[in-house]
Structure 1
Amino acid sequence: MKKSLILILASMMVLTFALAGCGTGSDTDDNGADENGAENGVAEDPTRVGLVLSTGGLGDQSFNDAAYRGLEQAEQDLGIEFDYIEPEDSAEDENALRRFAEQDYDLVIGVGFQMQDTLKEVAEDMDHINFAIVDGGYAEIPDNVATLNFAQHEGSFLAGALAALVTEVNTIGFMGGVESALITQFQAGFEQGATHVNPDVDIDVRYVGDFGDIARGRETARGQVERGADVIYHAAGGSGTGLFEVAEDEEIYAIGVDSNQNMVAPGYVIASMLKRVDTAVYSITESVVNDAFEGGKDYIFDLSDDGVGLTSLTDLDIEEEDAAETERITQEQLEAIQEMKQSVTAEHAETIEELRQQIISGEIVVDTE
C-alpha cells in the first residue's frame, strides 16, 4: 500500500515537470518570449540615452529643462534609461559627448547650436553610435546624426503680433541671448508679426551676449524699459530670468520662450512661445527604441504639428495648474495668471489663431531673416 502511494506521487511529480517544460504558462508566447517581448523570460536591456545639456544646465526653465522632460516622459512611457551631463563651459562638451559614446549608449543627444560642430566631430569618430542635436544644422548631415530643428520664426511671429496688440505705448522689445543665425530667426519672426498687425510699432532689439547671465539679462531688460518698451519678448535662455524680474519690478509685460514660463512671474508673463524640445527629444528617442532611427536627416517641428506655438491666451494650461498643485506657485499666483489672461490676452486670441492658420496654409510666409 505504502509502495503504491509512493509510485503515484512520483508519477504526479514527473507529469508536473513535463507540463512546465511545455511552456504552457500565460506569461510567455509560443516562441518562449514573455509578455514584454524578451525571449526565455529574460528581460531585454533597456535603451540607454545620454543627454548633454547646454551651458546654463537644468533649472533654466527653457530648452534644457524641456529636453530633460522629454526623456523623463520616455523613461515613463518607453522604459528607457537615461543619464545627463551639465557642462559648466562649452569646452567640456566634447568630453561629455565622448563619455556617453564610449559607454555605447544607444543615443547621445546634444542640446544647443553651440554644440553642433563638436557633436559632428564626435559622431564621425564614433559612427556606430546614434546622435541627435537640438538646434543643429549642417551642410551635410552625418549618417548617424539626426538634427532636431524648429520653425521658431513662425512661433515668434505670433509672439510679435501679440506684443503689438497688447502694448499701450506702441513700443515693444526683443531680447536675445547670443546674436547668431538661430536667435536672429526669433528676432525676425517677432518683428514680422509685430509689424503685420501694427506697421508703426517701435521695436527695441538688444542682445545680452550670454545665455546664462541673469544679471546681464536684468540690465538689458531694464534698459529696454527705460527706452519705452512695455512688452518684451526674450530668446535668451537662462538670461531671460532677468527680464522676468524686471517685468515684476517695473510692472511691464514679458513673453517667455521654449517652455511655459508664465509661472516665473505670474500675471506679468502674457504668454510663452513654446518650442517643443520635449516633443522632439521624445520622438527621436522613440525611434531608437523602435529600431527606426533615421540619421542624415533634419527633423523640422513647426506650427502645423504644434512643434512651436503660444501658450493659451484664454485658459489655464496644464503646466500652470500643475505648478499650483505641486506648490511651486501659490493659488493666488495661479489666479493672477488667469486674471491676466481674461483681462489682457483673451480678447486677442481669435486674431492670433487666424494668423496661425494663415501661416499653416501658406497665406502668410514668415521669413527667417
Structure 2
Amino acid sequence: MRKWLSLFLIGLLAISVVASGCISGGGETSTQTKGKIAIVYDVGGRGDLSFNDMAYIGAKKASEDFNLELVELQSNTEDDYVKNLETLAQQGDYLVIIAVGFMMTDAVKKVAAEYPNQHFAIIDGFDPEMPDNVMMILFKENEGSALVGALSALIAADSGKDKVGIVLGMEIPVLYKFEGGYRFGVAWAEDYYKQKTGKDVKIDVLYQYTGTFTDPAKGYQAAKAQLDQGAWVIYQVAGGTGVGVFQAVEEYLKAHNQKMGPPFAVGVDSAQDWIKPGAIIASMMKRVDVGVYTAVKDAVEGNFKGGVVELGLKEGGVGVSTVDDVMAMFDSLPADTQQQKLKELGFNSKDDLKKYLEDTRKQVPDWIWQAVDELKGKIVSGEIKVPKAFNKDEIEAIRNAKTWQEMMQLAK
C-alpha cells in the first residue's frame, strides 16, 4: 500500500521539483525583466498540491504582472534552509526572497540579520525578535477551519452521524490553529443544528497528528482508522500526507458502491476538490498565493515593510473553496497535464469535471451551505471571534471547552 500511494502521489504532482542547491529560473531571462524575486520551498516542496504550490502560483503571477524573473530553490532537508537563503542573499540582486513555511523561521531570522539590506518574506513564520527587513505573512487558519468544521458537523448531523475527523501533519503551533478552528466550527454547528431542528446533537472530533507532511500512507492509515470509528467527514491538514486521506475516503465510497459522498474528505490550503471528485466536498483555502503576491507587490512599489501581515476571512486570506476556485486551480496546471488528469479521472472535458464537482456539492442540502455562509458573515463582522491556539496549553483548553461560547472566551 505504501508503494502504491507513493506512486499515486507522484502521479498527481504535475510540476517539476528543483534540486536542493540548484537555482531555477521560473520566468523570462533577466535581460528581459525589470528585476528578480526568489522563493525557497520547505521540505514539502513543489508538487505538494498544498501551500508550496500555492506559494508558487502567487510568485508566478507576480513575476508575470511585474515582469520579473522568478528563481526557485528547493530544500530537501531542514539543513538546506540557511544554505539556500544565504545562496540567494549573498547575490544581492533580489527585490524580495520568500521563504515558504514555519520551519524556516530560525533560518530567516539568522540570514536576514546578516543581510539587513535584503528584503525577506516568510510564510507562517513568526518571531517577535525578527529583523525589520522581514515581512512575516500569517493567516487566520482558525477562521477558515471554523467554516469547514461547521460544514463537516452539519453534514454528519444531517446524516444521523456523530463523529468527524481531522488528520494533521507535524504537531507544530500553526496546525493548532487549524485544529482549534475546526473544533470551534463543530461546536457552533451543534448549536445551530439544535436551533434549526430542535434536536440535540453531539459531534465528536477524532484527531491524529501523523508527524509528517510527505507520507501519504500515514494519511491513509489515519483516515481509515477514523472512518472505521464512524467519522463522516475528515479534514486533512497534512500536505502531501493528506493525499492518503482522499484515497481512504474514495476507497470507502467504492466499497459501498457510491460515486459521491458522504462520507467526504475536506482539502486544505489549495482548492483540492479536483484530486478526488466525489470524495472531496470542499477545501479550506489558505491563500498563500495572496500573501506571496502582496510581498512582491510591496517590494516592487517601494512599500515593503517588515513586521506581521495577517490575512483572514475579511482580507480574503482564507475561505471555503468554490467550484470556480477548484477550476482555477486545475487551470494552473500545464495544458498537457490537465488532459492527462482528465483522462485519469474519467472525464472528457473540463466542463464534465466542473459539472461533477457541482453535482457533488448538491449531495449537501442548501441549508447547510447557507449556515456556513452565515457563520462566515458573523466572523467577518466581528460578532463571532474564533480562538487561536499557539501552544499545547491553548489547544488543550479548546479541546476541553464544552460549547463554542466557551471557546470564544478563549479568543484573544
Asked if the contact 2:33–2:67 (Cα under 8 Å) also holds between the matched residues in 1, the reply is no
Say whether 1:256 aligns with 2:264.
Answer: no
* Residue number among 306, 315, 322 corresponding to 2:316 in the alignment: 306
Share of identical aligned residues, percent? Answer: 34
The residue type paired with residue 198 of structure 1 is E
Contact persistence 1:262–1:320 (CA under 8 A): no
Aligned pairs for 1:188-267 within 5 A: 188-198=180-190, 200-251=202-253, 252-267=263-278
1:187 Cα offset (Å): 0.1
CA contact (8 A) 1:316 1:338 kept: no
- On the 8 A contact 2:274/2:330 being kept in 1, the answer is no
**How far apart are residue 312 of structure 1 and its match?**
2.1
Q: Does 1:72 align with 2:37?
A: no
Is the counterpart of residue 58 in structure 1 residue 46 in structure 2?
A: yes
- The answer (yes or no) to whether the contact 1:321–1:334 under 8 Å persists in 2 is no
State the alpha-carbon separation in 2 of the partners of residues 114 and 321 from structure 1. Answer: 28
Letter of the 2:245 counterpart: L
TM-score (norm 2): 0.75
Size of the alignment, in residue pairs?
A: 325
Matches of 1:143 and 1:323 in 2, distance apart? 34
Q: Distance in 1 between matches of 2:145 and 2:136?
A: 21
Q: Following TM superposition, by how much is the alpha carbon of 1:266 offset from its aligned partner in structure 2, in angstroms?
A: 0.6
Q: 137, 143, 156: which is aligned to 1:154?
A: 143
Q: TM-score, normalised by structure 1?
A: 0.84
CA distance in structure 1 between the partners assigned to 2:283 and 2:252 by the alignment: 19
Contact 1:152 1:302 in 2 (8 A): yes
Gaps of at least 5 residues in structure 1 are: 1-42
CA deviations over 1:69-90 (Å, ceiling 9, x no partner): 0011012111111111111111
RMSD: 1.9
> Which of the numbers 257, 260, 277 marks the counterpart of 2:288?
277
Q: How does 1:1-369 map to 2 (within 5 A)?
A: 46-104=34-92, 105-167=94-156, 168=159, 169-198=161-190, 200-251=202-253, 252-295=263-306, 297-312=307-322, 317-319=326-328, 322=331, 326-327=338-339, 328-329=341-342, 330=347, 331=349, 332-344=352-364, 346-369=366-389
Q: In terms of mean alpha carbon deviation, does 262-271 or 212-221 score higher?
A: 212-221
Larger Rg: 1
* Alpha-carbon shift at residue 321 of structure 1 (Å): 6.8
SS in 2 for 1:263: helix
SS at match of 2:364: helix
- Provide the C-alpha distance between the structure 1 equivalents of 2:109 and 2:32, rounded to a whole number of angstroms: 30
CA contact (8 A) 2:311 2:317 kept: yes
Whole-angstrom distance in 1 between the partners of 2:283 and 2:164: 16
Specify the SS of the correspondent of 1:299.
strand
1:98–1:122: 8 Å Cα contact kept in structure 2?
yes
SS of equivalent to 1:293: coil
Question: Hey, what's the Cα distance between the residues in 1 that align with 2:326 and 2:95?
Answer: 34
What per-residue deviation string (whole Å, max 9, x for no partner) do you get for residues 41-74 of structure 1?
Answer: xx89622111110112111110000000001101
Supply the distance in 2 between the matched residues of 1:180 and 1:215 (Cα, whole angstroms).
20
The code of the aligned residue for 1:282 comes to: Y
Larger displacement relative to structure 2 (334-343 or 47-56): 334-343
Please say if residues 146 and 298 of structure 1, whose CA atoms lie closer than 8 Å, have aligned partners that are also in contact: yes
